[in-house]
């Protein structure tokens, strides 16, 4: 458990330091998806914004773009990952 948490923190530091907001959001969504956090405890736009160090409006705008591109579906305050591979490609785009 400690090793997993450490990897999460290192990944978060890298994302905050080097990635665009779109990449950073994709990474957090993908990590949450892989850990089952989106199903167990849905993240709000506000929580995502706090994790990313931005405001809710920026998160909402990027989520809407992800939805338009078919990567996610937003339904009743729940974010569902519909194309994890496309989201992974977005998250792993070179800095």
Average pLDDT for residues 6-25, to the nearest whole number? 80
Band of pLDDT at residue 15, cut at 50, 70 and 90: low
Do the bridges between strand 78-81 and strand 72-75 make them parallel or antiparallel, or are there none, so unpaired?
antiparallel
Domains and CATH numbers, the chain: 2-91 (1.10.10.10)
Inform me whether the pLDDT recorded for 26 exceeds 90: yes
**pTM to 2 decimal places:** 0.77
Enumerate long-range contacts of 76-81, CB under 8 Å, 24 or more apart: 77/42, 77/44, 78/38, 78/42, 79/29, 79/38, 79/42, 79/43, 80/38, 81/29, 81/30, 81/33, 81/38
pLDDT tens-digit profile of 40-77? Answer: 778 899 999 999 989 999 999 999 999 999 999 998 87
Residues of the chain with pLDDT > 70: what percent? 94
């Amino acid at each position: 458990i400690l090793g997993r948490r450490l990897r999460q923190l290192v990944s978060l530091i890298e994302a905050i330091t080097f990635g665009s907001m779109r990449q950073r959001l994709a990474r957090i969504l993908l990590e949450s998806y892989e850990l089952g956090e989106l199903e167990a405890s849905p993240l709000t736009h506000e929580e995502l914004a706090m994790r990313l160090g931005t405001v809710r409006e920026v998160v909402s705008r990027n989520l809407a773009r992800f939805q338009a591109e078919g990567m996610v579906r937003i339904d009743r305050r729940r974010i569902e990952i519909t194309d994890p591979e496309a989201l992974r490609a977005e998250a792993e785009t070179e800095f």
